[in-house]
Structure 1
Amino acid sequence: MGFRCGTHRRACGLAPAGEGDETGSPALEGGVVHAIKLIDTLFDRPIITIGQVAEELRISRQAATNLVGKFEKIGIVEEITGKERYKQYMFVDYVRIIEEGTRI
Structure 2
Amino acid sequence: MREHGAWEAWLDFFLTGVADTANQAFDAATRIVELFKQDRERITVESDRAGSALRIHDLFQQNPNLTVNQLVHQTGPSAPTVNAALADLERFGIVEEVTGRKRGRVFSCRGYLAILSEGTDPLPTTA
TM-score tier after normalising by the smaller chain length: 0.7 to 0.9
- 2:98 maps to 1:80: yes
- Structure 1 residue 86: deviation in Å? 0.8
- 2:48 maps to 1:34: no
Give the alignment of 1:5-84 within 5 angstroms. 5-16=37-48, 31-84=49-102
- Identity score, percent: 23
**Per the alignment, in what secondary structure is the counterpart of residue 13 of structure 1?**
helix
Q: How many residues align?
A: 90
Write 1 or 2 for the structure with the bigger share of helix. 2
Q: Name which one, 1 or 2, has greater alpha-carbon Rg.
A: 2
1:25 aligns with: none
Distance in 2, Cα, partners of 1:89 & 1:34: 16
- Structure 1 residue 33: deviation in Å? 2.2
> What are structure 1's unaligned runs of at least 5 residues?
17-30
> What are structure 2's unaligned runs of at least 5 residues?
1-32
- Residue deviations 1:57-100, cap 9 Å, x none? 10001101111111111111101011121110000110111111
Q: Which runs of 4+ in 1 moved over 4 A?
A: none
**Per the alignment, in what secondary structure is the counterpart of residue 89 of structure 1?**
strand
Root mean square deviation, CA, Å: 1.8
